[in-house]
A and B are shown apart, each in its own frame.
Chain A
Amino acid sequence: MADTTAAKGGRKVSKKALAKSFRNWYYGNLTCFSQEHMQTFGYLVSMLPIVEDLYDKKEDQQKALTTYSAFFNTEPQIGSMIVGVTVGLEEARANGEAIDDETINGIRAGLMGPLAGIGDSLIVGTLIPILLGIAMGLSEGGSPLGAIFYIVVWNLLAYFGMRLAYYRGYDLGGAAVEALVGPNATALRDAIVMVGTMVIGAVCATWVSISTSLQLPGGGTLQGTLDGIYPKLLPLGFTILCWWLMTKKKVSPIVTMLILLVIAFVGAAVGFFGAATIAAPTA
């Protein structure tokens, strides 16, 4: 990969253009989404300030910008690093380094998959659920505290995290990404996913409340018997059932919901599920 850290003596992207480019990505990465070109236009507008800064002639700007019209899609928060990396590459190209469209698009296409995987599992699949789990605890009973906590903490993390990723991508080029997939980074990622998995377990026990109103023939309730075996056994059982359907049987979430509808209907008809007020504790 080409050395992107510094332009040798020649042109350097101004601070103002970098800030504008980052802002455009931060806001506009998905605003014009289509199935065909997911984040392509978000990418184009974030490269626009850069090419205007680096090239004086209109034709050169247009030619450079056309490079970024190839399909692009990744997890947009962590993906800001890729934008940063290409800004570095574009700067090197403006200074006469032999970097062609294929090189840039090859790097872009090579990075978007792995970073989408990291971003989806770490940010969308772990960080946001943890924050939401804590926020729901704070909002119990209808307090706005949890919602406010989530709004503030998430947005600070997202903005400064994306900013850091963008500038690190620009400063370090490919090395920034290599650092994200190195052995220690992988260990850290596993540890974070571990926190996420435990918190999901706690969320399941706290926020899912399924109970049965079935009376046992010999007196007592089925719920009482189940609680004796393990508390919250029904939420756990139904969660594992859904997981099994979606993972092992490849059933889509919508079909899984329809299966639950059938279970709910049959359960209500035979008296397994009663009026929730009688049996279930307040969520």
Chain B
Amino acid sequence: MVINVFQAALLGLFACLASMPGLGGTSIGNYTLGRPLVAGLIVGLILGDMTLGIIVGMAIQVVYIALVTPGGTVSADVRAACYIGIPLAMMAVKAQGLDPNSADAAALATTLGATCGTLGAILFYGTATINLAWQGMGWKWLEKGDTHKLYLVDMVLPWISHIVCSFIPTFVIVYFGQDMVSFIMNSLPMDGLPMKTLFALGSLLPCVGIAILLKQVIAKPTDFLTFFFGFTLAAVMGCNLIAASAIACFFALINFQISTLKNRPVVAAASGELTAADDEEEEDI
């Protein structure tokens, strides 16, 4: 598998669109193109091996299942995990001659993707820092009454930040790094300690992603029971995720009905407003 200039440039473009303050916008860029599962499909299509792309993307996705950036602090960068990590991981899996469907391939992809994502945080801070310059110009234009130039500040000039911090790093690392990945992979024996560590780490890393999510939703110790219930559904009773979601919705419905029963007097007092709330919330589900 060889990545040509055109393919590397396309990956660079997607990196510009997908990053956290990305030019694809938040919903389409960060939350769609910046999810490793989706990126796996895109990178797979660009590099001509969709199946491998998706398998690699999926392995990395578990680590980043809940990438929340409270107050703009990031511990990982999606553009690097997706558009640098996935291509390199695909190269590595091919170079090692691993079966794409094997746990080894998933573990290798996870380790490489998470490493790129973690080191890539520097790209996030780089982009945000360069954007300060455009914002500085924006304040001057606003003061002068050149209000239409605000569009330039918000939607056009950040492209420069992204050419520097997304396009060029992705292009360079993917295009020039491919030989290095193949070389490293070929020189490491499969049963040596470095590869074994890599595989073991790859199987452990998804725990961090799940734990980040747990950190948010577990408010009191009994919340662990809910988590454990879902775990048991899949681990012991063999439910797949759709079945587990359906069962979860059923229990949540019961829980909701009990809670609203407790709120009954309040409901009567302000029913108009609350109906509106329900409609609104249901749209969000």
Q: Which chain B residue lies CB-closest to A133? A: B241
Q: Does B200 lie at the interface of the complex (its beta carbon under 8 Å from any beta carbon of A)?
A: yes
Q: Does B186 lie at the interface of the complex (its beta carbon under 8 Å from any beta carbon of A)?
A: no
Q: A190-B255, A202-B233, A254-B75 are in contact. Are A126 and B154 (CB under 8 A)?
A: no
Our pick among B65, B71, B280, B281 for the contact of A132 (Cβ within 8 Å) is B65
Q: Which chain A residue lies CB-closest to B247? A: A198
State in angstroms the CA–CA spacing of A124 and B20 once bound together. Answer: 13
Q: Within residues 196 to 237 of chain B, which ones have a CB less than 8 A from any CB in chain A?
A: 196-208, 210-218, 223, 226-236
Q: Does A58 lie at the interface of the complex (its beta carbon under 8 Å from any beta carbon of B)?
A: yes
State in angstroms the CA–CA spacing of A77 and B255 once bound together. Answer: 26
Size bracket, chain A contacts:
35 or more
State in angstroms the CA–CA spacing of A154 and B204 once bound together. Answer: 28
Q: A33-B72, A209-B203, A267-B200 are in contact. Are A127 and B285 (CB under 8 A)?
A: yes
Query: In the complex, are the beta carbons of B104 and A264 less than 8 A apart?
Result: no
Query: In the complex, are the beta carbons of B101 and A208 less than 8 A apart?
Result: no
Q: A31-B154, A41-B135, A182-B270 are in contact. Are A264 and B201 (CB under 8 A)?
A: yes
Q: Does A216 lie at the interface of the complex (its beta carbon under 8 Å from any beta carbon of B)?
A: no
Q: Within residues 65 to 98 of chain A, which ones have a CB less than 8 A from any CB in chain B?
A: 65-66, 69, 73, 76-78
Q: Secondary structure of the B side of the interface? A: helix
Query: In the complex, are the beta carbons of B54 and A239 less than 8 A apart?
Result: no
Residues of A within 8 A of B256 (CB): 187-188, 190-191
Q: Does B180 lie at the interface of the complex (its beta carbon under 8 Å from any beta carbon of A)?
A: no
Query: In the complex, are the beta carbons of A201 and B231 less than 8 A apart?
Result: yes
Residues of B within 8 A of A41 (CB): 135, 138, 150, 153-154
Q: Does B127 lie at the interface of the complex (its beta carbon under 8 Å from any beta carbon of A)?
A: yes
Q: A32-B154, A194-B251, A198-B251 are in contact. Are A182 and B273 (CB under 8 A)?
A: yes
Q: Does A2 lie at the interface of the complex (its beta carbon under 8 Å from any beta carbon of B)?
A: no
Q: Does A108 lie at the interface of the complex (its beta carbon under 8 Å from any beta carbon of B)?
A: no
Q: Which chain B residue lies CB-closest to A164? A: B283
B241 → A minimal CB distance (Å): 4
Query: In the complex, are the beta carbons of A243 and B281 less than 8 A apart?
Result: no
Our pick among B30, B134, B201, B273 for the contact of A260 (Cβ within 8 Å) is B201
Our pick among B154, B230, B233, B245 for the contact of A28 (Cβ within 8 Å) is B154
Residues of A within 8 A of B249 (CB): 195
Query: In the complex, are the beta carbons of B27 and A136 less than 8 A apart?
Result: no
Size bracket, chain B contacts:
35 or more
Q: Secondary structure of the A side of the interface? A: helix
Q: Does A204 lie at the interface of the complex (its beta carbon under 8 Å from any beta carbon of B)?
A: yes
Q: Does B139 lie at the interface of the complex (its beta carbon under 8 Å from any beta carbon of A)?
A: yes
Please choose the segment from A3-11, A99-107, A139-147 that sits at the chain B interface, where 4 or more of its residues have CB less than 8 A away: A139-147
Q: Within residues 243 to 273 of chain A, which ones have a CB less than 8 A from any CB in chain B?
A: 243, 245-247, 252-254, 256-257, 260-261, 263-265, 267-269, 273
Query: In the complex, are the beta carbons of B32 and A188 less than 8 A apart?
Result: no
State in angstroms the CA–CA spacing of A94 and B244 once bound together. Answer: 52
State in angstroms the CA–CA spacing of A130 and B26 once bound together. Answer: 19
Q: Does B1 lie at the interface of the complex (its beta carbon under 8 Å from any beta carbon of A)?
A: no
Our pick among B62, B151, B278 for the contact of A203 (Cβ within 8 Å) is B62
Residues of A within 8 A of B266 (CB): 182-184
Our pick among A178, A201, A236 for the contact of B233 (Cβ within 8 Å) is A201
11 more A-B residue pairs beyond the given contacts A147-B54, A182-B274, A198-B251, with a C-beta to C-beta distance below 8 A? A32-B135, A35-B125, A36-B135, A125-B213, A158-B31, A206-B234, A209-B103, A246-B212, A257-B208, A275-B196, A282-B101
Residues of A that sit less than 8 Å from B by CB: 24, 26-38, 40-42, 44-45, 48, 51-52, 58-59, 61-62, 65-66, 69, 73, 76-78, 116, 120-130, 132-137, 139-144, 146-148, 150-151, 154-155, 157-162, 164-165, 168, 172, 175-176, 178-180, 182-211, 230-232, 235-236, 238-243, 245-247, 252-254, 256-257, 260-261, 263-265, 267-269, 273-277, 280-283
Top 10 closest pairs, chain A to chain B, by CB: A201-B230, A33-B21, A198-B230, A142-B51, A187-B259, A242-B211, A179-B277, A273-B200, A201-B231, A202-B244
